[in-house]
Amino acid sequence: MSAQPIASAAPEPAAALFSPLRVGAIAVANRIVMAPLTRNRAAAGNVPSPLAAAYYAQRASAGLLIAEATQICPEGQGYMATPGIHAPAQIAGWKIVTDAVHAAGGRIVLQLWHVGRISHTSLQPGGVAPVAPSAIAAKAKTVTTEGLVDVSAPRALRPDELPALIETYRMAARNAISAGFDGVEVHAANGYLIDQFLRDGSNHRKDAYGGSIENRARLLIEVTAAVAAAIGADRVGARISPVSPFNDMSDSAPQPLFEHAVEQLDALRIAYIHVIEGETGGRRDLDFDFAALRRRFRGRWMVNNGYDRASAAAAINTGAADLVAFGRLFIANPDLVRRLRENAPLNALDASTLYGGDAHGYTDYPALD
C-alpha cells in the first residue's frame, strides 16, 4: 500500500453545499439559498428600491435568491416601504432587479405575500380594517410611519371574497414572470394570511375554509394550485413555519395539519417546500417531526433557521435537506457562497440597518479582497 498523501483527496464535508441541482425548472449552481428578507426600503409607490438591483446582484452567487416578501395587492401590505407586484411600475422596478441578477449568473424567485391581519389601518387603502380568516386581533407589532405600533383588529373575509383573493395570487404570479423572475414562492409562513388560515389559533371559521385540517389547508392549496396553473408547478415553491409562534400564532395539533398540507402540496408537484424549523429566527428545539413532512414530499426540500457552515453541510450530507436558506448571514455577507467554500471569516450583522434606511447596511457590506 502506498502512503497517504499529505493533502487528502477526500472531499471536505462541506463540498456537497457546492453541487448543482435542478429545483423544478430552475437549474441552481449550489445548495445555498438567500432567504426572503424584509428590508423596508421600497421607493414611492412601493416600487423596489433603486438600490435593490445592486443588493441582489451582489448576492447572485447563491444557488437561488428568494426576493423579499412582496405584497400581491394593496390590502396585502402590513409594513412601511415593502415592495408590491401588482402595479406596472412595480413590475418594471423588479425587472431591473431580475435583469441584474441574471446578468450576474444568478437565479431569483419572488415571495408572494398577503399579510392578512398583520397590518395597520394606516397602511390599508381607505384606512379600513385589514382582512383575516376570523375577526381576531393578533398580539403583534408592525412598523408604520408612526414607528412600531400594535397591529389593527381585522375583519373576517367573507366566503364570496375568496375566489377574488385566489385570483389576485394568480395575477401576482403572472406579474412576477413578466418581471423576469424564475419562479415564485407562496408565503404560507410566519403568521401572515395563508398561515392564519392554516392554524386554529387564528382561524375560527365555520365555512369550508375553517374547522377541519382539510378545510384550514384549503386556501394554501387553492392558491398554490392557481399559481401553479398560471406559471407552471415547476416554478413554484411554498414556505411554511409549522411551529413558529411569530406574529401570535398557535395551533392545537401542528403535526397532522402540516403533514396534510405537505401531502397536498406534493400532489400539485411544486418544485420545492421551504420550511422554517422552530421559532422564526429563534429556537430550533421545539417538539416537531420535520422529517415526517419531508417524507411526504417528492420535490426539493429547503430548510431554514440559524444554519451555519457545519450544520448546513450536515443537512445536505445526511440527505435531511436539498437546499439551505440563510438570512442574516446573507445580509452581512454578499459573497457568502465564497466565504462558506473557503471557510473564510464572516462579516458581523448590523441590526440597526435591517429595516428601512439607505445603502448603509444594504449594499455596503464588503466582499472578500
Site for ligand 8OZ contains 79 (CB under 6 A): yes
CB 70 within 8 A of CB 113: yes
Site for ligand 8OZ contains 330 (CB under 6 A): no
CB of 317 to ligand 8OZ, least distance (A): 28
SS3 assignment for 270-306: CCEEEEECCCCCCCCCCCCCHHHHHCCCCCEEEEECC
CB of 81 to ligand 8OZ, least distance (A): 11
How many residues touch ligand 8OZ under the rule CB under 6 A: the total is 6
Which three cell numbers mark 274? 421551504
Q: Which of residues 91-110 bind ligand 8OZ (CB under 6 A)?
A: none
CB 260 within 8 A of CB 217: yes
For residues 304 and 363, which CB has a smaller minimum distance to ligand 8OZ in the complex? 304
CB of 144 to ligand 8OZ, least distance (A): 12
CA neighbor of 326 nearest in space, from 116, 335, 364: 335
CB of 69 to ligand 8OZ, least distance (A): 4
For residues 90 and 190, which CB has a smaller minimum distance to ligand 8OZ in the complex? 190
Catalytic annotation on 192? Answer: yes
Helix (H) or strand (E) holding 97: helix 88-103
Q: Which of 190, 203, 224, 363 binds ligand 8OZ (CB under 6 A)?
A: 190
Give Cα 274 distance to the centre of its chain: 7
Given 56, 79, 169, 192, which residue is catalytic?
A: 192
For residues 61 and 152, which CB has a smaller minimum distance to ligand 8OZ in the complex? 152
Say which residue the cell 433557521 belongs to: 305
Instruction: Tell me, residue by residue from 263 to 282, as one string, x for binding to ligand 8OZ by CB under 6 A and - for no binding.
Output: -----------------x--
For residues 184 and 340, which CB has a smaller minimum distance to ligand 8OZ in the complex? 184
CB 65 within 8 A of CB 59: yes
CB 325 within 8 A of CB 303: yes
Distance CA 272, CA 362 (A): 28
Q: Which of 30, 38, 46, 305 binds ligand 8OZ (CB under 6 A)?
A: 38
Site for ligand 8OZ contains 69 (CB under 6 A): yes
Which three cell numbers mark 348? 458581523
**Residues, the chain:** 369
Query: Which phi and psi angles does 226 have, rounded to 5°?
Result: -65, -45
Residues known to be catalytic: 192
Name the site residues for ligand 8OZ (rule: CB under 6 A).
38, 69, 79, 189-190, 280
